[in-house]
Amino acid sequence: MRRALSIAGICGALLAAGGCGGTPVACLNGSGAYLRALEEAPGPVRLAGGVPISDCLTDNQKAGDLTAVGDAMLDSATALNAEARQEHGGASNVELGYLIGAAQRGAEDTGGIHAELMRRLIAAATYSPGKQVLSKDFERAYRQGFDAGLAEG
């Protein structure tokens, strides 16, 4: 009995940090957690407990966790896109790119379960009213963030 409790305790601690196959708790704290962490972009971005954003997209992710993570990421991408369109080439552009790059990194090895989320994230990140062309400054800063997120996210 004592050994079973020890294993359960270890798995619980690992789950909070992203182990035992579950979604790290830091990923489930809403868009505010992502937006605060993304302020570090293009440097390494970490959620609470040192969790990279890419770790929020896990293989065989539970539907409820996928919904919570997806909602937080989509809300973050939408907010950052609105800011980025106002300040072409500014920090919001880099943060937005980082978020998408990190999500892409996390989704790469999950058997396609995050494909719809990625489609929606990219649409939110690249939204432009009236389909206006996004500026070169927007694209350059977004690419800087995307590359960093893909590499480190």
Residue 46: in which H helix or E strand, if any? strand 46-47
CA distance 5 to 100: 39
Side chain identity, residue 6: S
Give the pLDDT of residue 10: 40
List alpha helices for the chain, DSSP H: 2-17, 31-38, 63-86, 91-107, 115-125, 136-152
| Amino acid 21: pLDDT | 54
Taking the model in full, what pTM does it have? 0.85
**pLDDT at site 7:** 40
For the chain, list residues with pLDDT below 70.
1-21
pLDDT digits (tens, 9 = 90+) for 32-42: 999 999 999 99
Taking only the tens place, the pLDDT of each residue in 7-36 is 434 444 444 444 455 899 999 999 999 999
**How confident is the model at residue 131, as a pLDDT?**
80
d(CA 122, CA 85): 15
Q: Can you give the pLDDT at residue 134? A: 86
Task: Say whether 61 sits in a helix, a strand or coil.
Answer: coil
